[in-house]
Structure 1
């Protein structure tokens, strides 16, 4: 089998002297959705940040298309086709929807109009509110802006840290539907999600982390069917 488009293998590292990740491996295939779940404090967001270069590794490596990018800065990883949407502070609230999307294309030197229309097609409500300050939008709409801005970079890898945090179940389902649509265009999705059951339902691959280690790995369907995973992490 060919190597995944993105893989963080054997990652060990943390903040200061304490390691949070312990020999953790996370990967995503081209055009597929990989989801990281686990209890609070399991190291889910830390694993995401390590893959994106926001956390120095003491051991392990990150490879993109088979090339070692462990030493690259997050900015350089963006230039290589990775986009990261943090859980909080992921929009410019005083700027309009359209201005936020334009900021997402800051590295591009080509015409961005086509990509912007693709984002508006994916999130029609943003087209309606394109001239409205983003800070006036609902929580779910702000998340759409954050994802849309990341898509403006035309990434190969879209990384989402808790994209449904604080939104209603209806909005969560809509966001997950849009994430599936993005993956169908060939963009790989790596996502940390607290709503484990719903996330695993859309996942091609799921990673259950416990104390910074891989506890369970499998397809979303396999993990949902695993009695131990269901009992320990999904409420039975």
Structure 2
């Protein structure tokens, strides 16, 4: 039973043309599901459709068995979704700690324990907690963005291009932290340009082409598929 099931999604932005065509994305509890594909394949659009940021003309989204197709993004956050966009994902003029506190805006309980867990996961954030997020490196800002999303105590964490613009060393470190998050039982749905590295850590992989599912399999199987390797992984 998938924790997230986004089935047969067809839709686009506003009254524009459909970008997604019968697209299906699923993730089980504690599973890392990765969406890869060429530029313009509809990867980020599929993620936004799951989060309720565009209208679906067909299809449905269920979370833990509950149909949430018509819920707003805010209501989906309350149901356990957290979304980290690729850009503009921190408040640059606020400190690291204030950014994390902003992630807990819906909570009415004590957030200290969650904050400590995030500092354990990303020790550099504890060290720089009084520093403005805008002064951090790209990789550190991504850690703030992921940390802020985790402050909502999500069951499903969605990451749009989390390693965009960071060095290979920082990318490996971020992927290690993502694996750690998944081991706590949180489902991860991730769009990633670095397809080979992302499929390497994926339990499940989706290759999208022009808004449609082209290949769906385990990360390992897709890495070993000759056609996927030739067309999408550079041979």
Short-chain TM bin: over 0.9
Aligned to 1:76: 75
Structure 2 gaps of 5+ residues are none
Per the alignment, residue 160 of structure 1 pairs with 159
Q: Which residue of 2 aligns with 1:184?
A: 183
What is aligned with 1:122? 121
Aligned length: 234
Q: Give the match's secondary structure for 1:83.
A: strand
Runs of 4 or more, structure 1, over 6 Å off, are none
Superposition TM-score, scaled by structure 1 size: 0.99
Name the structure 1 match of 2:206.
207
Aligned residue for 2:19, secondary structure, equals strand
Partner of 2:86: 87
* 1:66 CA displacement: 1.1
How far apart are residue 173 of structure 1 and its match? Answer: 0.2
Q: Name the residue aligned to 1:226.
A: 225
**Structure 2 length as normaliser, TM-score?**
0.99
The answer for the alignment partner of 1:135 in structure 2 is 134
Deviation at 1:48? 0.2
Match of 1:17 in 2: 16
| Alignment partner, residue 108 of structure 2 | 109
Give the whole-Å Cα distance in 2 for the aligned partners of 1:223 and 1:153. 32
Superimposed CA distance per residue, residues 192-235 of structure 1 (whole angstroms, 9 cap, x where no aligned partner) = 00000000000000000000000000000000000000000000
What residue is the counterpart of 2:37 in the other structure?
38
In structure 2, distance between residues paired with 1:118 and 1:86: 22
1:56 is matched with 55
